[in-house]
Structure 1
Amino acid sequence: MTDAAESPRTNFIRQIIEADLASGKHKRIATRFPPEPNGYLHIGHAKSIVLNFGLAQDLGGTCNLRFDDTNPHKENVEFVEAIKADVRWLGFDWDDRLYFASDYFEQLYDFAVELIKKGLAYVCELSADEMRAYRGTLTESGKDSPYRNRSVEENLDLFARMRAGEFPDGSRTLRARIDMASPNINMRDPVLYRIKHGVVHHQTGTAWCLYPTYDYTHPISDALEGITHSLCTLEFEDHRPLYDWYVDKVSVPSKPRQIEFSRLNLEYTVMSKRRLTDLVSESHVQGWDDPRMPTIAGLRRRGYTPASIREFCYRIGITKSENMVEMAMLESAIRDDLDAHAPRRMAVLRPLKVVLTNYPEGQVEEVEARNHPKDESMGLRRLPFSRELYMDRSDFEEVPPKGFKRLIPGGEVRLRNAYVIRCDEVIKDAAGEVVELRASVDMETLGKNPEGRKVKGVIHWVSAQHGVSAEVRLYDRLFQVATPGAGGADYRDDINPGSLEALTHCVLEPALASAQAGERFQFEREGYFVVDPDAMPERPVFNLTVGLRDTWGKGKK
């Protein structure tokens, strides 16, 4: 359910539906979300989920979840369950309205028989290549199939024998008899049924060897379910005359109104399910829920919240204009959410040891830190402070660049929530690498700045004695360019080789040892992170969700 902070945004589809309700055309709206179970849902599907379920919720209607499962070669139960989990995670529910297009296979077959009896469908024996040749082009009409004028009786007999399994795959199809000269190629006698032997459907098993096409099944399923407004993306606009034709020609109980809107195009990723499948099957990523994937499962594992994705969908809006959405808009939505809700913690991702030479050996004290700088209700925590600490390597420069405000030889910084320290000595290994800093601590500066003293830099730290060893995975954009595969190039060539950096020697403050999978935090001065499902009590694993600010193409801090 969307919360009160997410007031509904108006759009042209909402205005159409509200007008239909106000005029009395419909007393109650019914929408549906109709995914094909041939892959995991991505952020583009989230836009449709938020639209369909959100409109029904806001306007007192219903929204069905229906799987358009007409292609058993590519579908399976894993995808069905993943889709259900994603819809629920986004905050929506279909109650008792879970359907499969395969629920209607018998009715769809009967409707096909009805079309045959009306002289509106025929069994065709053209091969797929021949059918393409007969179809014509955008500028040339198609040609009638030599089987187009078969008698009703012959077509009924052949269609029954197709169902009985008498014919091999590809030898016959059932086609609608519409208009081979139509300027809309979709209307040039499209295929209604094809033969598929030797497949096990995830819902119907081996009961059928004859499967309806998506274009035939989809509008009739909507009509059988009493859908009032069939909302789909713009690539189906040219299919609308065909969908209306099917609904008009068979005896379905209702006639849905189809309204199209622009699909989501997002920078630095691909939204084609075929390409996403390739990324998984070719091991460019580590699965459908890889945090670099634009799948809802991947975004969830990366630490995105349902509220942030809903908010992103509201921000981009619903229009008929095709456009490319900046990745920064998605990142801004999660950054805003986590800034308000994520507790703060300290984590040193690239540790450099610091020994406070004037701090008593064996002494441990606790300093107080706020869990959130803007939300006092989140309370305080106590951090152990000791003689040996870890700071981040990026916070020390032996030869500082201009404007560097952190620790340098002879310079001072404040340790966040603790003391001011001064770097007195730099220890290097045989290769000349800095391995340790010796520093002195000003014991009069706990939580305060003495008058007249200027310390510009504040850095985070973790007690070496009490810190928790962890792995932190830094995820970047999966592609190096905004539009992968532009100009006909292979989109794989645009994969970012540095999209994942696994840091295995990170040190975190002790409170993070008990963090559970899915918990989100801001690592102070680093970004927002989430506990990965791979994490174990003895070995925490955190994923970078998003940085504290947009640094893409601007260099790191």
Structure 2
Amino acid sequence: MNNKKYNNFICHIINQDFHKNKNLSFHTRFPPEPNGHLHIGHAKSICLNFELAYLYKGRCNLRFDDTNPSKENIKYVNSIKNDISWLGYKWHGNVRYSSEYFSILYQYAKELIYKGLAYVDHLTKEEIREYRGTLNTPGKNSPYRNRTIEENIQLFKKMKIGKYAEGEACLRAKIDMHSSFIVMRDPVLYRIISISHHQTQKNWCIYPTYDFAHCLSDSIEKITHSLCTLEFQDNKRLYNWILKNTNVSHHPKQYEFSRLNLEFSILSKRKLKILIDNNIIQGWDDPRIPTISGLRRKGYTPSSIKEFCQKIGITKQNNLIEYSLLEHCIRKELNQTAIRTMAILEPIKIFLYNLDQNHKEIFTVPNHPNNPNMGTHEVIFTNMIYIERSDFQEKYDKEYKRLRIGEEIRLRYAYIIKAEKIEKDEYNNIISIICYCDISTLGKRPKNKKNPAVIHWISTKNTLKAEFRLYNQLFNIKNPEQQKNFLSCINPLSLVKKNGFIEKTLEQKIQKYINNDRNQLFFQFERIGYFCLDYIDSKKSFLIFNRTVNLRDVWNRK
């Protein structure tokens, strides 16, 4: 392949397979468990599987490996389908479920029993764990391991028809309790779960384990290349054992690549659920976590996520990816597509005393300074305006280059003003700043002076109230996944809310985007950052904007 985008070791393997078999019907799949929302790590796998299927003119199935109803939910099924569609991918045929194959999998389990390769065990979960041994000590055989084939068949049938309570019996493979690979020490193949399944309802009370169902489902679907992350490398030994000892007609090939580890982030679904259950985050779509729904709500686009996955590449080396690279990908896109406008997050009032109270000017300003095709919008200028509180400083500081008493500043798209006086309330809080407006400076440099710094502003007669949610890293250390008590690393300033204003002239444009996540609306609030409309919490009467990313590109400067 000449295209660098697909120049990775998996492509080299596939190319060799096509060289050996020019009629190879390339077939892969994306097989999530429906026990949570997808995250950026899943996006890496989604892009790999679907892009390869497109590149090699093959097919990519979407299959839910739904073997544990105690942790699964139909809402997760729907969210996963929505995320994949939002990313722009289409799966081959209908959505598939491992539960569709439960009858077939049951027969394969019986086949192993008839071959003397599986047995019904009555050890408890804790006892099985104890008997399994450790990395340094071998396991020991269960006292139930040497039952006859006929006895195991009868016991397994009893499991199926509900004669045993949950945890009272399970079916285990008979492999080798002294294996150096713990996964091969008589792993559990079937267990009893007395919960209704989201697809099969109460038709079954025994469920195959993920490892048993996964490889056989791949075989049933004629998957040619089973792509997974490195933590399943040892599991491949068990998969191959199952496929070798059952009467399957197709043996998929498994290839492993490194999982995605992202700075300042947790990607474990179990740990993400702990964050939700402890009310540290507000749900699976909280913009502080890198779930696909969280990234979407924060303002990330499908193309920015795909570019990120392409940039990090596919390797066998585990590493911690810089969060700034993810931010670079969305910043690069929004720099081209986001509407430029002004917003005030912490307002302080400016009174331009030399302008009449009825003074009103309308300036037509570009929506993007480098793209005239994005059009223009109007801003209103009057004698009362708001600026950011941080753009005025009362105390003298020679390093401070914005507005202060006796100093000049230029208002973006408008005039140069000079601060002359401060009005305060009884508690010594600044109410307003009295300024002189030099009306001869519209679009002109000041005579015999250096051009002053530029700040943004909004007329008090052109304001629309809004809440601004400033999202920062959820964790205050780079690798919280490594921490035993990851909850102790929470950043208390991961979400800061500000109440301010946007330009009212944008109201009509914004309203049609409320409650419509399929068409996100982005702004670059000048000098502040890139923001998107929160399509879930925003109301027509009260707008909320989420900060997607700040303006400074740290990664690109390295």
TM-score (norm 1): 0.95
1:491 is the counterpart of 2:486: yes
1:184-211 deviation digits (Å, cap 9, x = unpaired): 11111111001122x1100000110101
Correspondence for 2:294: 298
* CA–CA distance in structure 1, aligned partners of residues 229 and 145 of structure 2: 32
Please report the RMSD computed on the Cα atoms of aligned residues, expressed in angstroms.
1.7
Correspondence for 1:531: 533
Amino acid at match of 1:289: D
Measured after TM superposition, the shift of residue 550 of structure 1 is: 4.9
Correspondence for 2:517: none
* CA–CA distance in structure 2, aligned partners of residues 23 and 361 of structure 1: 82
Measured after TM superposition, the shift of residue 7 of structure 1 is: 7.3
Correspondence for 1:548: 551
Measured after TM superposition, the shift of residue 40 of structure 1 is: 0.7
Measured after TM superposition, the shift of residue 421 of structure 1 is: 1.1
Q: Secondary structure at the match of 1:221?
A: helix
* CA–CA distance in structure 1, aligned partners of residues 269 and 142 of structure 2: 33
1:511 is the counterpart of 2:506: yes
Counterparts of residues 2-21 of structure 1 (less than 5 Å): 8-21=5-18
1:482 is the counterpart of 2:478: yes
Greater alpha carbon shift after TM alignment, 68-77 vs 87-96: 87-96
Amino acid at match of 1:384: I
Residues 406, 413 of structure 1: 8 Å contact kept: yes
1:389-430 deviation digits (Å, cap 9, x = unpaired): 111111111224333221111111111111111112111222
Q: Which runs of 5+ in 2 are unaligned?
A: 515-519
Residues 343, 500 of structure 2: 8 Å contact kept: no
Q: Secondary structure at the match of 1:160?
A: helix
Counterparts of residues 50-61 of structure 1 (less than 5 Å): 50-61=47-58
* CA–CA distance in structure 2, aligned partners of residues 215 and 487 of structure 1: 28
Amino acid at match of 1:539: F
Measured after TM superposition, the shift of residue 514 of structure 1 is: 3.4
Seen in structure 2, the aligned counterparts of structure 1 residues 67 and 394 have a Cα distance that, compared at 3 Å, is same
1:24-52 deviation digits (Å, cap 9, x = unpaired): 16623111111111111111111111111
Q: Secondary structure at the match of 1:283?
A: coil
Correspondence for 2:171: 174
Q: Secondary structure at the match of 1:71?
A: coil
Residues 513, 537 of structure 1: 8 Å contact kept: no
Counterparts of residues 240-259 of structure 1 (less than 5 Å): 240-259=236-255
* CA–CA distance in structure 1, aligned partners of residues 554 and 502 of structure 2: 24
Measured after TM superposition, the shift of residue 123 of structure 1 is: 1.1
Residues 70, 102 of structure 1: 8 Å contact kept: yes
1:398 is the counterpart of 2:394: yes
Measured after TM superposition, the shift of residue 507 of structure 1 is: 4.0
Residues 462, 509 of structure 1: 8 Å contact kept: no
* CA–CA distance in structure 2, aligned partners of residues 300 and 388 of structure 1: 37
Amino acid at match of 2:546: N
Greater alpha carbon shift after TM alignment, 401-410 vs 509-518: 509-518
Greater alpha carbon shift after TM alignment, 202-211 vs 395-404: 395-404
**Please, which of 160, 163, 177 is the counterpart of residue 160 of structure 2?**
163
Correspondence for 1:65: 62
Q: Which runs of 5+ in 1 are unaligned?
A: 1-5, 553-557
Greater alpha carbon shift after TM alignment, 176-185 vs 451-460: 451-460
* CA–CA distance in structure 1, aligned partners of residues 25 and 431 of structure 2: 69
Correspondence for 1:229: 225
Seen in structure 2, the aligned counterparts of structure 1 residues 509 and 451 have a Cα distance that, compared at 3 Å, is farther
* CA–CA distance in structure 1, aligned partners of residues 189 and 338 of structure 2: 52
* CA–CA distance in structure 1, aligned partners of residues 503 and 347 of structure 2: 10
1:495-520 deviation digits (Å, cap 9, x = unpaired): 11111111123343521453124311
* CA–CA distance in structure 1, aligned partners of residues 448 and 374 of structure 2: 33
Amino acid at match of 1:120: L
1:457 is the counterpart of 2:462: no
Counterparts of residues 117-516 of structure 1 (less than 5 Å): 117-197=114-194, 199-484=195-480, 486-488=482-484, 490-512=485-507, 514-515=509-510, 516=513
Measured after TM superposition, the shift of residue 91 of structure 1 is: 1.1
Measured after TM superposition, the shift of residue 487 of structure 1 is: 4.9
Q: Secondary structure at the match of 2:255?
A: strand
Measured after TM superposition, the shift of residue 328 of structure 1 is: 0.8
* CA–CA distance in structure 1, aligned partners of residues 263 and 23 of structure 2: 39
* CA–CA distance in structure 2, aligned partners of residues 236 and 183 of structure 1: 16
1:123-155 deviation digits (Å, cap 9, x = unpaired): 112222222222222222222222222222111
1:342-371 deviation digits (Å, cap 9, x = unpaired): 111110111111111112221211112111
Amino acid at match of 1:46: A
Seen in structure 2, the aligned counterparts of structure 1 residues 113 and 486 have a Cα distance that, compared at 3 Å, is closer
Q: Secondary structure at the match of 2:542?
A: coil
Q: Secondary structure at the match of 1:313?
A: helix
Q: Secondary structure at the match of 1:469?
A: strand
Residues 227, 257 of structure 2: 8 Å contact kept: yes
Seen in structure 2, the aligned counterparts of structure 1 residues 395 and 512 have a Cα distance that, compared at 3 Å, is farther
Residues 412, 455 of structure 1: 8 Å contact kept: no
Measured after TM superposition, the shift of residue 456 of structure 1 is: 2.6
TM-score (norm 2): 0.95
Residues 324, 554 of structure 2: 8 Å contact kept: no
* CA–CA distance in structure 1, aligned partners of residues 29 and 439 of structure 2: 65
* CA–CA distance in structure 2, aligned partners of residues 300 and 477 of structure 1: 16
1:412-458 deviation digits (Å, cap 9, x = unpaired): 11111111111121112222222211111111211221443322300
1:46 is the counterpart of 2:49: no
Residues 472, 506 of structure 1: 8 Å contact kept: no
Amino acid at match of 2:333: D
What is the percent sequence identity of the aligned residues? 49
* CA–CA distance in structure 2, aligned partners of residues 279 and 400 of structure 1: 45
* CA–CA distance in structure 2, aligned partners of residues 25 and 190 of structure 1: 38
* CA–CA distance in structure 2, aligned partners of residues 290 and 124 of structure 1: 43
Q: How many residues align?
A: 545
1:109 is the counterpart of 2:111: no
* CA–CA distance in structure 1, aligned partners of residues 428 and 314 of structure 2: 58
* CA–CA distance in structure 1, aligned partners of residues 482 and 163 of structure 2: 46
Residues 513, 540 of structure 1: 8 Å contact kept: no
Q: Secondary structure at the match of 1:352?
A: strand
* CA–CA distance in structure 2, aligned partners of residues 328 and 512 of structure 1: 32
Q: Which runs of 4+ in 1 moved over 6 A?
A: none
Q: Secondary structure at the match of 2:480?
A: coil
* CA–CA distance in structure 2, aligned partners of residues 59 and 420 of structure 1: 61
Residues 470, 508 of structure 1: 8 Å contact kept: no
Measured after TM superposition, the shift of residue 72 of structure 1 is: 0.4
Q: Secondary structure at the match of 1:8?
A: helix
Q: Secondary structure at the match of 2:207?
A: strand
* CA–CA distance in structure 1, aligned partners of residues 422 and 502 of structure 2: 21
* CA–CA distance in structure 1, aligned partners of residues 544 and 396 of structure 2: 32
Measured after TM superposition, the shift of residue 264 of structure 1 is: 0.8
Residues 65, 210 of structure 2: 8 Å contact kept: yes
